[in-house]
Structure 1
Amino acid sequence: MWSDIFSALKAMDFKRLNEILAGVDVLTLLKNPWVIAVTIIISVVLIIRHMEKTLVTLLSIPALLVIFQKTIQDTSSLEVSLQKLLIFVGGLVVIAAVNIYFHVVR
């Protein structure tokens, strides 16, 4: 998988890169023990160094990917149900509110 991603990036073939990334199941990737271990190590290092803003941003990216994959992906623009759209927008609002709080208010 990684070699395909790097080769698509080197060739600047964004259509192929989009196809590769669309085939990746983010939930199974996040359940991988190596990904969990690396995330925990990075989180501990960021907490120790008092870099909470970076930690919030780092953890927001997979959250956005999970919300997108659970709600919007694999549907055409006309097939999105109201419930899925509300979950997607609500998740985006919550993630944006947390990021705004840590980056602006605090």
Structure 2
Amino acid sequence: DCMNLLTWLFSHYINKTEGESVTLSCSYDSKSENVRLYWYRQYPNGDPQYLLREGARSNSAKHSSDPRFQSSTSRILTELIISSVSVSDTALYYCALRVEPQ
């Protein structure tokens, strides 16, 4: 099975002091009720790492392995909130949208 994913690269630099929070935003447009939004992180010369996912049209569970990563999603925007940032959070961040079958 092939997953239909639309992926965006978070493509600008943000400078933060360690311990602060940062919010990354990604806008989207989909008429589907079955939208899932994903966030990934990629270090130089590494593979993308899954961070979390959230349903866009429901209060579906957010699945994250790190409690510092939270998501806030509306009908047109998804945000990744990273609390207590550290040097190890320096990376490329991607958001992806998947429209799941009915």
TM-score by length of 1: 0.21
Tell me which structure has the larger Cα radius of gyration: 1
Could you say which structure has the greater relative contact order, defined with CA pairs below 8 angstroms and 6 or more residues apart? 2
TM-score by length of 2: 0.22
Q: Which has the higher helix share?
A: 1
